[in-house]
Copies of this chain bind each other. A is one copy, B any other.
Amino acid sequence: MKQVSIGLLGCGNVGSAFVSLLEQRRTTISARTGVELRVTRAAVRSLNKDRGLKLPAGVFTDDAASVVEDPDVDIIVELIGGVDEPLELLRRAVELRKPVVTGNKALLASHGAELFAAADAAGVDFLFEAAVAGGIPLMRPLKASLAGEPVRRVMGIINGTTNYILTRMTDAGIDYRTALGEAQELGYAEADPTADVEGYDAGAKAAIIASIVFGSVVQSTDVYHEGISNITAEDISVADRMGFAVKAIAVIEAFGDNIRNHPEIAIRVHPALVVKSHPLAAVRDSFNAVFIEGEAVGDLMFYGRGAGGRPTASAVLGDVVDAATNMVHGTPGRIGALAPARIRPLDALKSAFYMSLAVTDRPGVLAQVADVFGRHGVSIQSMEQQGLGDRARLIFITHDSVEAAVKATMAELRHLDAVVDVHSAIRVIGGEG
């Protein structure tokens, strides 16, 4: 039996769950792999906090660097969060040729390429299943089962908070503020929910997925973000009646004839109307799912818990088992060099849109509005009018149209006398044949 020592950086929610899971499964893992795993050092902010863990007192330290430097520590598990501190620690771990397992999406979405390249050069594993979709096995299938599979598009519901809020708005007919309040009470949303509801969290995860799927250096800053705070209960009920679920979606697309070879990439996070027959439309509550359109394998979807201590710890443990067995056998995986990314700007993309306009219902309004769409080359798939008089509303679904043209259409519509407001403009996924 080979002994492998783990140095844990950070012992909060996920870290504590990881220590407990490892306790429970050590025997099973040893029987399957021939490797015995132990957490021998754990760096924490406060040495006084009781974490209820069965670790010898001497394991804990408040000096994270000493854990990395400890010659008896074989593998580093980073669950601190943030960017600067873990960046220094993991650079050093790789320099010391220690395999790294991390759940830190912010770090990877800003400095992933550097760390991956350093790990490849040092010949050590750098694994991050937990950083992208919590407990869902996603990185391993992408790297193993789908290695060499050209992928045209990846769509993901990769933020549980926004999916919970939108599910509650749909089920209970409540507005965004009320649903957010519920999510905060349940601990699904932070007191400051910006990172979740404005799409920054999903954007970081999407950048990591794009980097691995397309072998390119994609960073958080490359992602177009649009939040869900403007979605109304009315949008959701109209969409529902038209056969769509409203979801916050990350969309990563590759363009060009040869998508094998570092293609041009578009990457964005925004609310979308997803046609109900699409599997992503059925992803409810705080669950996550990643939908992959592969060339040979066809459509795949991976669904599960994208957050939470135990699901995330389960992903961390899977990576630790891999890193340990690879270390013992001298067979680390390689991420491979990432090429500079070529990002296609949003304005050049095509999307179908749902649009809701508040108008004054008088003769000729529809003709005026339709004329604006037409002049910008935005063609209309369906239209309906709701209400009468000053409270009339026009609902449009467009065909796939150039984003810049849709933006120009909306700007011009706002200047029409009869248009009180362009109330909503939400992208539509899967609405056409």
Contacts and interface: CB of A to CB of B under 8 A. Distances in A.
A78 interface: no
A136 B318 contact: no
A263 to B, nearest CB: 14
Interface string A272-302: 0000010101111001010000101111111
A367 interface: no
Interface of A is mostly: mixed
Number of chain A interface residues as a range = 35 or more
A28 B303 contact: no
Contact of A297 (B31, B147, B289, B304): B304
Copies of this subunit: 2
Nearest to A331: B329
B141 A137 contact: yes
Given A140-B140, A313-B296, A336-B32, A145 B318 contact: yes
A43 to B, nearest CB: 23
B310 A297 contact: yes
A148 B301 contact: no
B32 A297 contact: no
A38 interface: no
Contacts of A240: none
B300 A301 contact: no
A349 to B, nearest CB: 26
B294 A283 contact: no
Nearest to A299: B304
CB-CB nearest 10 A-B residue pairs: A282-B282, A137-B145, A301-B303, A25-B148, A297-B314, A300-B304, A137-B141, A135-B297, A298-B305, A145-B318
A321 B149 CA distance: 12
Nearest to A298: B305
B284 A277 contact: yes
A344 interface: no
A137 B148 contact: no
A144 interface: yes
Contacts of A297: 135, 304-305, 310-311, 314-315
Contact of A287 (B299, B308, B310, B336): B299
- In this complex, the member of A141, A145, A334 whose beta carbon has the largest number of chain B beta carbons within 10 angstroms is A145
A119 interface: no
Given A145-B140, A147-B318, A329-B329, A308 B298 contact: yes
Interface string A393-428: 000000000000000000000000000000000000
A34 to B, nearest CB: 9
